[in-house]
Structure 1
């Protein structure tokens, strides 16, 4: 992957990019910070599932706080922070973006067990196992980043063709398999299974309701619930694929991406915007999030024993 910058943008185009990325950065940091505070503060939310959501929010928070601001610097005609900073910068997005992907795989596993094996969920998915999974997730992502970028650390700037470039070389095949194919396949397979089981359960419940001849309105409610579940799962999968597939598909095609082109800017925008969309998809659908945000915004979390407040 060639990462370089030699194209001076028109002022209007540069300002549009700065404003867009700055807005995404601010929104990403704010939304994920609300998720982090909510789950960390309120004792009722200390569950294995929410621990995975917390880890996801931390990775997305770091994307908004560090990765996107540096991405703004990469839009400049020249990299002026030196060769070592150029290499070290790329460690951060590789760790945080991959942590976001792995966390989504863990969430997929959690929801798969919750829906497909609900009777054994409490014994299979415990708080301790969730903590260990999160720890292994971050250790793996750090190790993965060093494996992908190690060659660039031997001699920073070795791939630059002139002064002011920021060029790195990565093992594209390894990144494609471990960073895209494996996690994407796992998420799709798990969510398809969850979707099939959820729809099957909803139909069974509807058949039972019809058998005992309850009111028609109840049947309609179950049908709406089934459709809502289908839409939610559809949005989760569609948004994730929309953000992550295009960059990897372009790389797979052999197209040489250079920073400064409209194609690269659009692909980067898609990839980074997923960290902003994650808290909306995974947290905004929960009633507890809306209640906890209200307590945070009104500063009621500063009151004594506020961590014991009911948000469920």
Structure 2
């Protein structure tokens, strides 16, 4: 794929480097209407690594009847062994101790748990209250740490909830502090239904800082429902966040929150970051070509504006 790259204008108020936590193979493909063959998933992840992504969330060890698109997790992970040898991080989502057992048996070296900030989503996603879900995660995190496997904590519905509306910052702070107490090494703040705006992001990050949670412990995970994902990300960068979740081609949503639309596209994020002179180590053209390739397998164009623009210029 050919096409120009963005003009660079460095802003010294922003971090010089950002780590992209690629979630397309898990958070992207879990929302597809049909299952993607495991061989295609493995090639997708290899292509992402070849484009320079060093953290790629590979899959989830959830019940197959809940997320059938990821039912092949045990088949997929052995196909990715060479990437671990190359230093590519391949975290997986585990919902409970059974999921962790399955992941550890396959040699997984990083895991994540998925918490909710709101009671309504905790019920919809885990059929538990917020406190019950945190209690469920306690032995999961403890056992992972004993196995020297770091744990990431996802916080969903950090800004708005389809049932409860606006989410107060103190609820996010409470769950964030609890996950850190359990031993999570990093927290990803999720705008699950994409309703956040830059002012809301700044307010929440300030509240977390005031509670003693440094930006170095945080990542942001924005959905682009109202076209705010990039502006929200830029706001987070100005507040010291240096890890951003994104999905190649803008794939994804949430099977437990039907109003959730696609994730921030990794290519759109890269276009902005490169224009700001921020290093990521990722080759934009190779990544866009990968999303084009996957879109052909899925039978529809990529929703990423950058992928479409670069593809148009090539043709």
TM-score normalised according to structure 2 size: 0.25
More helix by share: 1
TM-score normalised according to structure 1 size: 0.25
Q: Pick 1 or 2: higher relative contact order, CA cutoff 8 A, min separation 6.
A: 1
More strand by share: 2
